[in-house]
């Protein structure tokens, strides 16, 4: 009997232990589920906070952009933003203007960046198209433009290529064509001088080609002038002398240009009216004398 009672007690204890284990396990599972739920809620809250921060940043940027546009409209009343499309020859001029009128001004970097974007076109605009429109990206954009288009060698190459095309021009006996030729020639030579070249080094390359493009009579006139000036010890380089000669020729052609048809007709009409008035006055005076 005692053995049977002990066996029953052991079974009851075993059953109780199993129940306690189940309760403990269920409690642990419930605790884990609660922790998991809290973790999910925390992650959801973080995502909501992140989205809220992004919306706030967007709203702030839109507000800044709106204020910037308003300030830019006011700014543009007094200064027109120069345009730059990626032409190496025009980079230095654009850079100096933008630097003086925008970059060195005490205005918000976002405003400067907006003005920069307005200023750029074509290849230059594409160079910074991937950058974000934020204040800290303004200087990054400026550095990218300077690195891409600010090379003096690239600018020099562009000017030389343009001069090589220019000296192939023909029919320079036509006034307008000659004037445009001299203007483009002077601009490119002066640009090369500003990049560190000198007239003596450029003269060897350019002077013979420029002379070959000129009409024969003009070429002879320059050679005569060159022969006379070569006797002077302090004479300018051949290229300087040639450019001065061409500038004088432009002035002569402009002064000798015939009147355009409208001005000529107006002049003839005015002259005819004066003649008619004078003849009428003389006729009336003769009639009064005869009376």
Residue 42 has phi, psi (to 5 degrees) of -65, -45
Quote the pLDDT of residue 101.
87
H/E element, 289: helix 261-290
Quote the pLDDT of residue 195.
82
Residue with tokens 């006011």: 74
What pTM value is reported for the model? 0.52
Q: How many residues does the chain have?
A: 291
CA distances for 152 relative to 121, 157, 185, 197, 234, angstroms:
21, 9, 19, 11, 31
Q: What is the pLDDT of residues 90-129, one digit of tens each?
A: 888 899 999 988 998 888 999 999 999 999 999 999 999 9
- The alpha carbon torsion through 231, 232, 235, 237 (nearest 10 deg) reads 20
Neighbours of 92 (CB within 10 A): 16
Quote the pLDDT of residue 263.
53
Quote the pLDDT of residue 189.
92
Quote the pLDDT of residue 66.
56
Q: For the chain, which residues score pLDDT lower than 70?
A: 1-6, 8-14, 16-27, 29, 59, 61-79, 231-235, 259-291
């Amino acid at each position: 009997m005692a053995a049977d009672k002990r066996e029953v007690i052991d079974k009851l204890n075993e059953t109780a232990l199993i129940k306690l284990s189940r309760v403990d396990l269920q409690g642990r599972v419930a605790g884990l589920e609660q922790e998991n739920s809290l973790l999910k809620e925390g992650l959801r809250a973080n995502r909501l906070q992140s989205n809220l921060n992004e919306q706030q940043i967007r709203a702030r940027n839109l507000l800044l952009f709106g204020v910037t546009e308003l300030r830019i409209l006011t700014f543009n009343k007094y200064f027109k933003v120069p345009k730059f499309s990626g032409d190496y020859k025009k980079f230095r001029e654009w850079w100096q203007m933008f630097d003086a009128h925008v970059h060195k001004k005490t205005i918000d970097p976002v405003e400067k960046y907006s003005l920069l974007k307005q200023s750029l076109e074509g290849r230059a605009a594409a160079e910074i198209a991937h950058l974000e429109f934020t204040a800290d990206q303004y200087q990054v954009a400026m550095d990218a433009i300077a690195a891409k288009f600010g090379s003096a060698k690239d600018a020099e190459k562009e000017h030389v290529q343009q001069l090589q095309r220019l000296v192939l021009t023909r029919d320079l006996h036509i006034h307008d064509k000659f004037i445009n030729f001299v203007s483009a020639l002077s601009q490119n030579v002066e640009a090369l001088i500003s990049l560190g070249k000198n007239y003596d080094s450029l003269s060897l390359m350019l002077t013979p080609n420029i002379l070959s493009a000129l009409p024969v009579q003009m070429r002879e006139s320059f050679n005569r002038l060159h022969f006379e000036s070569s006797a002077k010890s302090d004479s300018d380089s051949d290229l300087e002398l040639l450019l001065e000669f061409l500038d004088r020729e432009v002035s002569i052609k402009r002064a000798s240009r015939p009147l355009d048809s409208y001005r000529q007709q107006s002049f003839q009409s005015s002259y005819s009216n004066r003649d008619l008035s004078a003849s009428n006055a003389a006729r009336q005076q003769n009639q009064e004398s005869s009376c």
